[in-house]
Amino acid sequence: MANFFHISEAAVIGVHSCTLVAMEAGKPLSARQVATRLGVSYDHTVRVMHRLRQAGILKSVRGPSGGFLLGADPGQIRALEIIEILEGKVEDRHCFFLNGKCRGRCILFGDLRGLINRQAREFFARLTLEELAARMKDWGWEADWT
């Protein structure tokens, strides 16, 4: 299926993983628990969570009941920060050709791509993990974990 808007699987796992950790409110959550709850690859989840730990978004706790905790208050961590750690800085790209054939101005579609990127960046810059955790709780995600 075609898609106009794309975020990598790593970024999606990253935002969801951090949101799940935020929902646990100080109780470490393992990468295996996160992968199971999300229904995604454990290996990919481990790689993503370790990158977020290296960046300081997550911190790890060793031991049998260890796992990952947030590295800061969930109200201070924004979804855009997580996405940019995993994908790189979100840029305003105007040309759908990655070779810059349009010289910064798309002849066919104007500034559509730039507009979409700016709106997405603003949207993710507003979203905190605290807000995302509240959304997931309101949706009833916790009920599916037992």
**CA distance linking residue 117 with residue 134, whole number of Å:** 26
pLDDT digits (tens, 9 = 90+) for 13-52: 999 999 999 999 889 999 999 999 999 999 999 999 999 9
| Residues 90 and 117 sit within 8 Å (Cβ to Cβ) | yes
How confident is the model over 70-103, as pLDDT tens digits? 999 999 999 999 999 999 887 766 666 666 666 6
| Long-range pairs, 105-108, Cβ under 8 A, ≥24 | none
Q: What is the pTM of this model?
A: 0.86
3-state helix, strand, coil in the chain (%, to 5): 50, 10, 40
Find the angle CA(35)-CA(58)-CA(79) to the nearest 5 degrees.
80
Report the SS3 class of residue 48.
Answer: helix
At 117, the pLDDT band (50, 70, 90 cuts) reads: confident
Query: What are the contacts of 86-89 at 24+ separation with CB within 8 A?
Result: 86/8, 86/10, 86/11, 86/14, 86/48, 86/51, 86/52, 87/7, 87/8, 87/10, 87/11
pLDDT value, residue 112: 77
